[in-house]
Amino acid sequence: MLVIPVIDIKDGKCVRVIQGLEDNTEFYSESPIKIAKLFRKENFKAIHITDLDGAIYGDMKNAGVIKEITTSIDIPIQLGGGVRNIETARWVIEELGVYRVVMGTAALTNHDLIRQFLDEFSASKLAVCIDEKLNNVVMDGWINYANITPLDFAKTMESLGVKRVIYQDVTRVGNLSGPHVERLTELAQNTKLKITSAGGISSYNDLKKVMDLEKMGIDSVMISRALYENQFPCQKIWREIESKDTSLELPKVN
């Protein structure tokens, strides 16, 4: 099971998302770059970045920060938020150095874009984000309902040639309430997609619940708040070691 730490960037800063993208965010660090370096030193194999400004407004004003991260560390960066046309997707991969692009709203509203992206790049370069609220997919930074169930959306993406989706119940994001195991199971049993679970992980017990689904095709999990707030036993040891390097010291959380 690949564990992928999440860095959410808003106005150039690292924040924590709580259920909604626009209003409910909590500040973590002035420097997402330092956080990325810390995660790399802790031996994570990939990092997910969400450009919250891009997700809400479609304007990737955090591009400079993202570019500095991709050039500062030697592991793949997965980026979501604001990629809604092929020009932006191409720029993100070729100029920013991002390994994989995550699309949510664009995948809902522009199937031709998905086809074009798959033709120009490959399925390994794309993950489609399925953001759920009350068994309905939400879009535009979790603001609007798309009037399609997560399973129907997953099947549609699979029919277009998509190989990987990222699933999260947005009501669980940032509140440590656990993964939506039933929905993950439904998606895995009814498609052949590779699935990344996101949102809700609070502890090793929650992680174990996702790990138990690995044989069904759920091969990775994205974790944010639980890592920042030392919810895993091994994190305390890592933090103590890293605290000796003041340039990489994790900011205190109130």
Catalytic positions, please?
A: 8, 131
- How many angstroms separate the CA atoms of 233 and 205, rounded? 11
Q: Which residues contact 26 (CB under 8 A, 6 or more apart)?
A: 15, 16, 18, 174
Lowest-confidence pick of 20-34, 51-65, 216-230, 237-251: 237-251
CA–CA dist 223, 127 (Å, integer): 17
Residue 26 pLDDT > 50: yes
Q: Residue 249 pLDDT > 50, yes or no?
A: no
Given pLDDT bands bounded at 50, 70 and 90, which one contains residue 54? Answer: confident
**What pLDDT does residue 253 have?**
36
Q: What is the pLDDT of residue 250?
A: 39
CATH superfamily to which 2-243 belongs: Aldolase class I (3.20.20.70)
- pLDDT tens for 66-88 read 999 999 999 999 999 889 899 99
Residues facing residue 14 across a β-bridge: 9, 29
Whole-number Å distance between alpha carbons of 244 and 189: 46
Going from the C-alpha of 197 to that of each of 37, 156, 190, 219, the distances in angstroms are: 23, 19, 16, 8
Q: How far is residue 23's CA from residue 32's CA, in Å, rounded to a whole number?
A: 19
Would you kindly state where each structural domain of the chain is located, as residue ranges? 2-243
